[in-house]
Amino acid sequence: MKAPWLLMWAALLLPTPGTSGKSELPKAVVTLDPPWINVLQKDLVKLHCQGPYSPEDPKTHWFHNGSSMDTQGQPSVSFTANSNSSGSYSCQMNGSLLSDPVQLTVISDWLLLQTTALQFQEGDPIVLRCHSWQNRPLVKVSFFQDGQAKNFSHYDQKFSISKANLSHSGKYSCRGYIGRKEHNSKPVAIAVLGGHTTDTGAPTSLKSLIVTVVAVLAVVAVVLGVAAWWSLRRKKFSVACPNAEEVSKKETENTITYSILTHPEEETPKYLNST
């Protein structure tokens, strides 16, 4: 076992920011214009596909409930909603992966509580719209959450929440007058989730914790590996030279003795003492 090998092993454990193990094309993205995910029959729906495409083949492929749509390869499609228009829509360009599906719901009613999503994160804005069939004039508009009145306006058909929190989860509906007749929309369930999430759906704080734990474990592994390598090296040396310390001590003593014998204390010659 060698220390460089341990360092290489530890480096493999450490996560590399911005990498997912393999190179992938970006996903295409489907957007709605206007952004409402629920519409009434005879509403005009526009879908846009956003993403990189190949100059050699710039066609966009559209899918409705998994089946290919005849859209002439255009990056945008529009249609008048009917009972068959409900379902999931996705798209793909030759320079991108298949997009995540966008769910569209089409209903037949006089009034509809429209929303841009059914789930929001804390802190996100929420915009709701009380929509009338064929955009007929709508007045005296009220919005309700779980049956409790939240907002009233004579002419404004929208109700906004600047920053959503958990208390904003619930079933929303609206009421208004078309001509002299009062109409009520069906309730729409909206959920506000705590904490921001990533593309993989895991909370950001949890992902950060996991990365930190993995990094700490990798560092601990390196330290333990180096300590084990050093201990093994000393052990091998001790086995090869069991009396290394004793031999070293004897060599030191022999060196001192040799030095004394080589340079004995000088004595005064006898002839200098003769008279």
Rounded CA separation 165/144 (Å): 17
Which pLDDT value is given to residue 241? Answer: 55
DSSP string over 67-135? EE---TT-SEEEEE--TT--EEEEEEETTSBPPPPEEEEEE-SSEEEEES-SEEETT--EEEEEEEGGG
Hey, which CATH number is domain 23-108, 2.60.40.10, 3.40.50.300, 2.60.40.1170, 3.40.50.720? Answer: 2.60.40.10
pLDDT computed for residue 52 by the predictor: 86
Which pLDDT value is given to residue 246? 58
Q: What is the pLDDT of residue 248?
A: 54
What integer pLDDT is reported at residue 206 of this predicted model? 58
* Residue 255 φ/ψ, nearest 5 degrees: -65, -40
What would the two tokens of residue 254 be?
């022999």
Looking at residue 7, its pLDDT comes to 46
Ramachandran category for residue 123: left, alpha or beta (phi over 0 → left; psi -120 to 50 → alpha): left
- Where do the domains of the chain lie? 23-108, 109-196, 205-248
Q: Which helix (H) or strand (E) holds 226?
A: helix 204-240
Interhelix angle 204-240/3-13, nearest 10 degrees: 170
In the predicted model, residues of the chain with pLDDT beneath 70 are 1-23, 195-211, 213-214, 236-275
Cα separation of the two ends of the chain? 78
Q: Does domain 109-196 have CATH number 2.60.40.10?
A: yes
